Amino acid sequence: MKKIGVIIVIVLALTGGAFGIWSAVVAKKKSDDIVSKLKEVNEDLASYNDSIDVERTGASLAVNYPAIDLYNQIVLLIDSLKAQYAPMSDEPHRVKPPQSMERDIKRLAKYIQQVNKVEWDMVDSKIPDTISYWENPAAFNADKWYADFFRDQYKVQSITYLDYLKNQAVARMHVR
């Protein structure tokens, strides 16, 4: 009888040990699953917070520096105009931009004047003087500007001037 009791105790001890090992493995697996889910949630929260910070920063910049929006419009419009110039002939002769480009170029002049006005209105000791796109802003004439820099001009000359305007706009955006 003593042998049966010892055998039962050994079987129970082995069963208990096996159950303990099995429950430790299951607990470890569940723990790893929970940790991985927490890491995913943490990454989601981090990316969400980053996007909120970007939105807040962008909104703050737009409120504090409305000229940045105008500079962005200028840069995008210049890129569009350069893309419209691309298919035109590279031969050394003067080109007359189509009517749609003329409207876009005059819209560019309007944006430039708007950004100059916004910056002039915002001028304080922290903001340097505005870019001088025209010698006398009071005498600015979009038709004359268009004629001087785009109508019947060489393609390379007009693109170079657009590059200059874009560089000025990008530089002014990063002065902030």
Q: Tokens for 95?
A: 């080109």
148-158 tens-digit pLDDT: 888 888 888 88
Residue 48, pLDDT score: 62
Judged by phi (left if over 0) then psi (alpha if -120 to 50, else beta), residue 152 lies in left
Per-range mean pLDDT, top range of 60-64, 93-97, 117-121? 93-97
What mean pLDDT is predicted for residues 80-92? 81
What mean pLDDT is predicted for residues 53-78? 70
Residue 5, pLDDT score: 79
Residue 60, pLDDT score: 53
Q: Could you tell me the pLDDT band of residue 1, with boundaries at 50, 70 and 90?
A: low
Mean pLDDT value across the chain:
76
Residue 34, pLDDT score: 76
Q: Give the 3-state secondary structure of 76-139.
A: HHHHHHHHHHCCCCCCCCEECCCHHHHHHHHHHHHHHHHHHHHHHHHCCCCCCCCCCCCCCHHH
Residue 154, pLDDT score: 84
Is residue 116 within 8 A of residue 129, CB to CB? The reply is no
Domain ranges of the chain: 1-64, 65-173
Residue 28, pLDDT score: 80
